[in-house]
Structure 1
Amino acid sequence: MEKALVYINYPELIPLNDKSTEYDGYITIDDKFTYRIKLQVPNFPDVKNITYSGGRFHYIAIQEEDKLFKLAYYDIPKISSELLKEYASLNELFTTYCNCIEELQTYFDVMDSIDTVCWVIDPPKPKKSDYMRRIMIGHNVSIQITFDPLNILNLPQIQFMGSENGVAPFRESFINNLDNWDPEYDVVQNILRLIDLPFFPQEPTDAAKSNDLDFKVNECCICFCVQLENKLPDEICKNPNCEQCFHTDCLYQWLSAVGTSRQNFNLIQGECPNCKTCISCRIPNI
């Protein structure tokens, strides 16, 4: 990107060095929203930008080709096809991106609240674009919550993960309390009401992790790891005397190697590697 293009699109930005590879300043979008923009131009034609809104930093990478600009990277959910378009000016691109940020302010607030008060085990380091959270709620029991970023106050998709004995009371409460979800109520408190919890369990400190038997993320019984390619164990043997955890990929590969296993549509069924009772899992996209 040529230096002149920055000046043409944003004459209010101030160069921070003699080479004009870094800029800083404020821009106003649609005469409503003011953003602080820091442009870093280390390698042409890419421009890395930082926009500041609602007390948060948003990172984007802009690519320029044939005097057209497009987002090569952004850290918010893809809520509009407008984020994929090419634009004739930086101003058009920034206007589209910043309008999306404003539309997502409630979403950011809710996800920040969840990350603060809940023990989030997946993703391990949530990004602003991640609208799924897996949260510990009990002994070897977690819930996977998938939100709609544009309708963050509505009831999200909730999946219970854990042993049947552990999940059953939470699932029963969830079914009984579904009608109690209130879009005008705090999202975290809504979730607690759904599963009849007074509060979410907190992640133990490093010193307590080795001794904490009530709340922990179990390792996979096949690979003996907690994380496999950033995935946590999400299959559990339903035998109450076993209740071993497995990564879907690990369990699928194990069952596929056993001649007595059977596949039916998108499921594979066979013997638990630990207790030999019947176990099944979905066939992953591998």
Structure 2
Amino acid sequence: MYQTMRKLFVFRENIKSATKMEILLNYPGLQAVRKHDSPMQQSVREYKGLLFVNDKSFKIHLHQSNSTWLMHNPTDDPIIYALNSQNFKHAWNYLDAYKKQLEPIHLSHQPVPVDIYRRVIQEHQEFVNFHIYLKTVQLASDLSHITIIYVDGKFRNHQITITVNYNQGKLFQIGCCKLPVTLSASDDSLINLFEVFVAQVENFQQFFDVMDVIDQFLWTVDPEMPTRADVRRRVILDVNLSVEMVFNPNHPMTLPEMRLFGPVGRVQQIESVLNNNFESWSEDGDVIDELTKIFEVAVFPERGSLDKECGIGECGICLSTRGHSSKLPEVFCPNSPCDQCFHTDCLYKFLQQSLQEYSTKVQGSCPYCKQRITCENPQQ
């Protein structure tokens, strides 16, 4: 008896799966919404997305009420109102009837790429079944793109958006992904294209390791929210003193390029220390140990440990720490009793008021102490 019931259950589940796939292939703009009826069973009682009729698209939200399928929010649509009054036992019957009513009203001006829609649906299904290290895979309701979050071997999340090309050329192409290099590729296979992205993620594992350590143990103020694509970190050294480090993603343990920001006198002192210690940098060491060695410090300041906000002074012109596009002050008055800092944009605009056009640099008087100060063009 148990075996008979089990076979019947499997048979019914296979019918449900086949029915769901048939709906998605014939109506590729729709996505099934699963709801848990019990801990042991899942069923599809809703479909959401777009219904394509000739060259038009219509938003659909179809749900099952008791044993009848209905459309959500009929409003003043007489077609939906009439169909909702009928008794549709199956979702595809409702969709077929709705599409049949719409086709003579909305005549086609250009063909809808239904075959491409089907290919996208099939590629998406195969992809989900093929990969196991996926956190999320979201196919857009209009089938324009697929957003994927991949989890690497160290449990880091990496997001990529793959767009669908409905023109000539390969079906899928990489749209947006956060990597320290520009990745441009296309393929007719979603799996093959995604493997290109995964290969790059694995290639930059050491770079991600180094940047994670920097963000964990140092006080990074720029960028505010680093992504996997950012090779630059501006780190606090002391009040009004910071260093910008740019790492080579292909060789992350080589000595990073450095640029110091702070009062001129203090910057010169740090530069002298660095010049004496650069050659002692070891690519085989720990990045934090190597940085403390060349800066000759026991430890770097902990986040929030300094008196001033972010350890960065306020711009003397706009009176804020973060200016346009969340940039931090970069220019300091060379007059040591002043040492006022400014955003490059703010100071450049202030100094160039007497100029007729932008140049590479401008010179003028510090707004505070009137000493001579130079500022580079932020547009360069």
TM-score relative to the length of structure 1: 0.83
Match of 1:224 in 2: 319
> Please, which moves more after superposition, 39-48 or 102-111?
39-48
In 1, are the aligned partners of 2:318 and 2:346 still within 8 Å (CA)?
yes
Is 2:286 the partner of 1:186? yes
User: CA offsets per residue over residues 133-162 of structure 1, 9 Å max, x none?
Assistant: 000001211000011111101111011110
Q: Partners in 2 of 1:89 and 1:235 — Cα distance? A: 50
Tell me, in whole angstroms, the C-alpha distance in 2 between the residues paired with 1:92 and 1:107. Answer: 24
Aligned counterparts of 1:42 and 1:84: Cα–Cα separation in 2? 21
Q: Distance in 2 between matches of 1:266 and 1:189?
A: 38
The farther-off stretch of 167-176 and 271-280 is 167-176
Of structures 1 and 2, the one scoring higher in RCO (CA 8 A, sep 6+) is 1
Q: For 1:262 and 1:13, how far apart are their aligned partners in 2?
A: 56
1:193 partner SS: helix
Q: Separation in 1 of the partners of 2:357 and 2:186?
A: 49
Distance 1:236 1:151 in 2: 32
What is the number of residues matched between the two proteins? 259
Instruction: Choose the corresponding residue for 1:39, options 95, 112, 137.
Output: 137
The equivalences for 1:23-172 within 5 A come to 26-27=131-132, 35-36=133-134, 38-43=136-141, 44-53=143-152, 54-66=154-166, 68-78=171-181, 83-172=183-272
Alpha-carbon distance in 2 for matches of 1:285, 1:12 = 44
- Percent identical residues: 30
CA contact (8 A) 2:123 2:189 kept: no
Q: 1:201 aligns with which of 292, 301, 311?
A: 301
Moved over 3 A (4+): 1-10
- Match of 1:30? none
- Sort the Cα spacing of 1:218 and 1:36 in 2 relative to 1 into closer, same or farther, 3 A: same
Give 2:312's aligned amino acid.
V
Q: Deviations over 1:48-70 (max 9, x none)?
A: 11111021111111101135211
Secondary structure in 1 aligned to 2:148? strand
Matched with 2:128 is 13
- The CA distance in 1 between the partners of 2:124 and 2:200, in whole Å, is 20
Structure number with the higher helix fraction is: 2
Query: What's the offset of the Cα at 1:92?
Result: 2.0
Structure 1 3/57 Cα, relative in aligned 2: closer, same or farther at 3 Å?
Answer: farther
Cα pair distance change 1:243/1:12, threshold 3 Å: closer
TM-score, normalised via structure 2 length: 0.64
Within the alignment, does 1:277 sit opposite 2:341 as a pair?
Answer: no
Q: Supply the distance in 1 between the matched residues of 2:155 and 2:207 (Cα, whole angstroms).
A: 14
Distance, in Å, in 1 between the alignment partners of 2:189 and 2:127 is: 15
Alignment-mate amino acid for residue 126 of structure 2: P
Aligned to 2:336: 240
Residue type of the partner of 1:224?
Answer: L
- The higher radius of gyration belongs to 2
Contact 1:143-1:160 within 8 A present in 2 as well: yes
Structure 2 residue runs without a partner (length 5+): 1-115
Q: In 2, Cα distance between the equivalents of 1:214 and 1:201? A: 13
- Alpha-carbon distance between aligned partners in 2 of 1:254 and 1:242, rounded to the nearest angstrom: 17
| Structure 1 residues not aligned, in runs of 5+ | 15-24, 28-34
2:253 aligned counterpart, secondary structure: coil
Q: RMSD value over aligned CA atoms?
A: 2.4
- The reply on whether 1:251 has 2:347 as its aligned counterpart is yes
